[in-house]
Amino acid sequence: MSDVSFVRTEMLPEQAPPASEVGLIGWIRHNLFSGWFNSILTLVSLYAIYYVLSGVLPWVFQSVWNANSLNECREIMMATWGSTHGHACWAVINDRWLQLLFGFYPSHLYWRPIAALLLLLVALAPVLYSDRLPTKMLIFSAIYPFLMVWLMWGGTIWGPIAAALGFVVGWGVYTLVSKQLSGLFGLIAGVAASVIWWLVLSSYFVGALDSILPIGIEAVQSRQFGGFMLAILLGVVAIGVSLPIGIVLALGRQSDLMIVKYLCVGFIEFIRGVPLITLLFVASLLLNLFLPPGTNFDIILRVMIMMTLFSAAYMAEVIRGGLAALPRGQYEGADSLGLNYWQAQRLIIMPQALKISIPGIVSTFIGIFKDTTLVSIIGLFDVIGLASAIRADTAWNGIYWELFAFIAALFFVVCFSMSRYSMYLERKLQTGHH
Amino acid sequence: MSELAIDRQIDRSKMQVSDEVAIEINNMNKWYGSFHVLRDINLTVNQGERIVIAGPSGSGKSTLIRCLNALEEHQQGTIMVDGTELSNDLKNIDKIRSEVGMVFQHFNLFPHLTILENCTLAPIWVRKTPKKEAEERAMHFLEKVKIPEQADKYPGQLSGGQQQRVAIARSLCMMPRIMLFDEPTSALDPEMIKEVLDTMIELAEEGMTMLCVTHEMGFARQVANRVIFMDAGQIVEQNEPEEFFNNPQSERTKLFLSQILGH
């Protein structure tokens, strides 16, 4: 009889884990006091948190909300707490918050940027929550960019309509030509037709229709734009436009067509090799040297283009990382079923590559959104530029922390939302068995 | 290499080889850079044939069947599939690919789509089949490979054997005239090899033209009508399975068979 012989006759049932492994006590033991070293770290961290909060919380909450100048603020502090130290003077925000949000946008027209922001949320909703909302809402998302431009800048309604018609013209020419000749010719002809429409024909179209049927709202000049509104405007445009451009650049970089490939590589490497601030200076100063005198090329539009290109170059590299992470088998699987290049990219490759790239894409989004504050250096009154202007005012000369704390809070809300959304999206797209 | 027992009666009534030519390869050569990977391949496959391609690794057998749907490009010679020549013309390539099904060693299912979507994608986009019809057909083939209940799951939630059966169903949904199998069981646990082989046998019983690169010699013996042995990029020997296994002619074939069957 061999003593290694063993046969199990009944399978063991599952049992509840011991009390020290579950519940609050189990959690504390595991996460905070799992050994003497971790226990010390826990205590030190708790003290650090206490130290920081004990300094910050009184500053935030024992503060002055109503005053007309920094001096008045200080008098109130002395009267209330007997010291000006350790108390915030939120009165500056109370006094100037509209300016920090809207810049020099005419105050009787504030409803327009607010409406644009609310409609932005409506336009974004079907994109962000595509599984919960009807696809038909995307029609509004397509109209929104033109509506937004009209709301923000005002003027005749025929301008944005003419801009939108440029896409229609391009699409029409593309379908006509690609039926007659090849798809590539159609694409080139379509793009050419759109460009000709925008640069040459649309101004006559707008002029003619405006003289017949002048529908419009009060125009607002670009130099009146500013504040956090400007950051959102630049950020939304740069984010929204750079993603498709980035996808095209990433695909171009992987292309077998030599010229396309090296054009994309050259563009990406050049833009990534140059600081954003130099691109912004090019937009604000140098571009005027190259344009014919008297051309009115809107400064905000120029900045938008530069920020978009900058963000697109980074986006292309992030997406290329996602493409590189896909196994070759996915391309072969798509090929073997007879899907053509664009079908394979759209249905198989991009959905997966973009999903892999979500953290990188959102980091780039957040980065470019915060980089919009750099426009203060080329003289646009974004929220940082306005903070400097407010500090230059004699009433608030010397105030510092409160303004930047407010600005930080504004940016944090938006960036943190983007970050949380990306985590939601990653969870939603998770299809493995984890 | 084990010779897995196939414990079922194989119905040969529909395994008819017709006179119609499905694939014709003439003097085909292929190089990877300067490496001559396929050398002067000549092969004619008739409709209804079940061919097993065997050989040591690196012998070019996978490359050969990957050339048949242009996943790899050949540099010399001609390949005719179902009367269409494989050339650089993308239209021809897409036509052939939609007529020829392929099953891979690593399944290559699309992990972001459900099983059902995996099966309906190509019919909807390539064949322009209406969605409802494509779904009905997909369910039909999923029933055939015995996993209709998994239709709404994602590939990552299935076992390897189940995934490979989905991959077979996905190919079948395109109604191919020819099926290529590139080591379909090599990445599977022994317990799962059998379920995939059973599916392949059923396919053979229905008269499908099949080219299989595989190490499953039991399958070769009982299902194939022809075994091709390749080494160093060329066809060394081909014969009916009985003759091939019991009476190999070339020294290289004898050595290979003794190594994979010898113990």
Q: Provide DSSP, chain B.
A: -------S----TT----SSEEEEEEEEEEEETTEEEEEEEEEEEETT-EEEEE--TTSSHHHHHHHHTTSS--SEEEEEETTEE--S-HHHHHHHHHHEEEE-TT----TTS-HHHHHHHHHHHTS---HHHHHHHHHHHHHHTT-GGGTTS-GGGS-HHHHHHHHHHHHHTT--SEEEEESTTTTS-HHHHHHHHHHHHHHHHTT-EEEEE---HHHHHHH-SEEEEEETTEEEEEE-HHHHHHS--SHHHHHHHHHHH--
What is the arithmetic mean of pLDDT over B81-99? 84
Residue B3 pLDDT > 70: no
Burial class (CB in 10 A: 0-12, 13-18, 19+), B74: buried
pLDDT of residue A157: 85
- Which residue of chain A has the CA closest to B112? A431
Helix/strand/coil (H, E, C) string of B27-61? EEEEEECCEEEEEEEEEEEECCCEEEEECCCCCCH
- Measure the CA angle with vertex A224, ends A219 and A230; round to 5°: 105
C-alpha distance from B248 to closest chain A C-alpha (Å): 34
pLDDT of residue A434: 43
Residue B1 pLDDT > 50: no
Looking at the partner chain, which of A329, A338, A431 has a beta carbon nearest the beta carbon of B126?
A338
Name the CATH topology of B19-107+176-219+230-259: Rossmann fold (3.40.50)
- Which residue of chain B has the CA closest to A342? B125
Contact call for A431 and B71, based on CB within 8 A: no
Contact call for B108 and A330, based on CB within 8 A: yes
Give the ipTM.
Answer: 0.89
Residue A20 pLDDT > 80: no
Residue B5 pLDDT > 80: no
- The model's pLDDT over A210-243, given as tens digits with 9 standing for 90+, comes to 888 778 888 888 888 999 999 999 999 999 999 9
pLDDT of residue B15: 79
Q: Does A335 touch chain B (CB under 8 A)?
A: yes
Strand order in the sheet with B35-46: B35-46, B21-32, B76-81, B84-85
pLDDT of residue A294: 66
Contact call for A332 and B108, based on CB within 8 A: yes
Q: Where do we find the tokens 């079948």?
A: B172
Contact call for A330 and B110, based on CB within 8 A: yes
- The model's pLDDT over B52-86, given as tens digits with 9 standing for 90+, comes to 999 998 899 999 999 998 899 899 999 999 888 88
Contact call for A338 and B121, based on CB within 8 A: no
**Domain residue limits, chain B:** 19-107+176-219+230-259
Q: Where do we find the tokens 């595989």?
A: B214
User: Shortest CA distance to A288 belongs to which of A302, A274, A300?
Assistant: A302
What structural domains does chain A harbor?
A: 24-91 (no CATH), 97-105+223-429 (1.10.3720.10), 155-217 (no CATH)
Supply the Cα-derived Rg of chain A in whole angstroms.
Answer: 29
Q: Does A330 touch chain B (CB under 8 A)?
A: yes
Residue A119 pLDDT > 50: yes
Q: Does A329 touch chain B (CB under 8 A)?
A: yes
C-alpha distance from B178 to closest chain A C-alpha (Å): 12
- Which residue of chain B has the CA closest to A346? B125
Helix/strand/coil (H, E, C) string of A53-88? HHHHHHHHHCCECCCCCHHHHHHHHHHHHCCCCCCC
Mean pLDDT, chain A, integer: 88
For testing the chain A interface, which of B81, B108, B128 should be mutated: the one with the most A CBs within 10 Å? B108
Helix axes B190-205, B160-172, angle to 10 degrees: 20
Q: How far is CA A61 from CA A92, A223, A416, B122, in A?
A: 15, 36, 23, 62
What is the arithmetic mean of pLDDT over A103-114? 91
C-alpha distance from B153 to closest chain A C-alpha (Å): 9
Q: Report the predicted TM-score, pTM, of the whole model to 2 decimal places.
A: 0.84
Q: Does B69 touch chain A (CB under 8 A)?
A: yes
Contact call for B110 and A348, based on CB within 8 A: yes
Does an H or E element contain A217, and which? strand A216-217
Supply the Cα-derived Rg of chain B in whole angstroms.
Answer: 18
Contact call for A336 and B112, based on CB within 8 A: no
Q: Does A256 touch chain B (CB under 8 A)?
A: no
**Residues facing residue B213 across a β-bridge:** B53, B182
Q: Does A431 touch chain B (CB under 8 A)?
A: yes
Torsion over CA: A372, A378, A379, A380 (sign): negative
- Which residue of chain A has the CA closest to B128? A339
Phi, psi (degrees; rounded to nearest 5) at B137: -65, -40
- CA torsion, ordered A87, A91, A93, A97, to nearest 10 deg: 170
Q: Does A352 touch chain B (CB under 8 A)?
A: yes
Q: Does B23 touch chain A (CB under 8 A)?
A: no
Q: What gap in Å lies between CA B5 and CA B218, rounded to an integer?
A: 6
- The model's pLDDT over A349-365, given as tens digits with 9 standing for 90+, comes to 999 999 999 999 999 99
Contact call for B156 and A433, based on CB within 8 A: yes
